[in-house]
Copies of this chain bind each other. A is one copy, B any other.
Amino acid sequence: MSDERSGADAETDPSGSPTPESAQGRFDDEISTALRALLHQLEPGARLPNERELAEELGVSRNALRDRVRLLESVGVLARRQGSGTYLEKTFNPDGLVFAMDLLVAMGQLKHSDLQSVRVGLERQAAIQAASGGSKPELIAEMRSAVEALGEKYDTPEMVREDVRFHRALIRAADNPALAFFADALRGVLERATEMGTVNWREQRIGKHLLVAVHADIIDAVEAQDPEAASHAVDEHFSLHERVVRGKFGFGA
């Protein structure tokens, strides 16, 4: 597989970012094509032929096949059940990606601030889409309930829980499973870095008021179906968030 490796090297530009000419890259081959054609015919819940049969059916090596199957397991497209076989799930679960990003953060290869920037881009887009796609009264109600609770609580884990509840409802209001996948992945990595706890919220009455206000502004914009206001409100939200995380939250101090 040393040829694959030199290929990967060639795809890395001098800035150090992975910028392949074609992002399909090393998985864009006849094995993928054959596997895609097979899975396309199966219904969710169907059991795949065992590895040896599948490799023969597709005319590929068992090792190569196993790599693809493991990859698809890691994102939830396939599920292996011990002693039973591998099943088609057709879901899309960010756990594997979160695990990998978390590791890269731990090794110093990814920065929280860079991931946070991606999160801002995704949430802004979610708010714009939620404010454009028709009203969703249940999700508006869920967001209002979360923000109300956020305003009443002072214990950090409880506040984080309400905050997460708000953002999950916002993402669901965008009605976009792809956006939900990436937003969940980012939230998964960044959750540990949430530092609402560096603020003593009981002493920061103006800060707490602002915190509730920036969330309420997002809800109002989504409810009014005003994408521009929604985009602006998300940026205000993250601007406040950044001040909180950086400890530059000195209202009334």
- State how many angstroms separate the Cβ of A158 from the closest Cβ of chain B: 15
Q: Is A248 positioned at the interface, with any CB of B under 8 Å from its CB?
A: no
Q: Is A50 positioned at the interface, with any CB of B under 8 Å from its CB?
A: no
Copy count, this protein chain:
2
Q: Please measure, in the bound complex, the distance between the C-alpha atom of A94 and the C-alpha atom of B17, giving whole angstroms.
A: 11
- Asked if A179 and B8 sit within 8 Å, CB to CB, the answer is no
- State how many angstroms separate the Cβ of A170 from the closest Cβ of chain B: 12
- Asked if A177 and B91 sit within 8 Å, CB to CB, the answer is no
**What residue in chain B is nearest A231 (Cβ atoms)?**
B231
- Asked if A92 and B18 sit within 8 Å, CB to CB, the answer is yes
Query: A77-B104, A117-B174 provided; 17 other pairs, C-beta below 8 A?
Result: A12-B91, A15-B172, A16-B177, A17-B171, A17-B180, A19-B171, A20-B94, A22-B191, A24-B188, A25-B98, A28-B99, A32-B99, A39-B103, A111-B178, A118-B178, A118-B182, A121-B128
The 8 tightest CB contacts between A and B, nearest first, are A23-B188, A121-B125, A27-B99, A70-B70, A25-B95, A114-B178, A17-B180, A71-B74
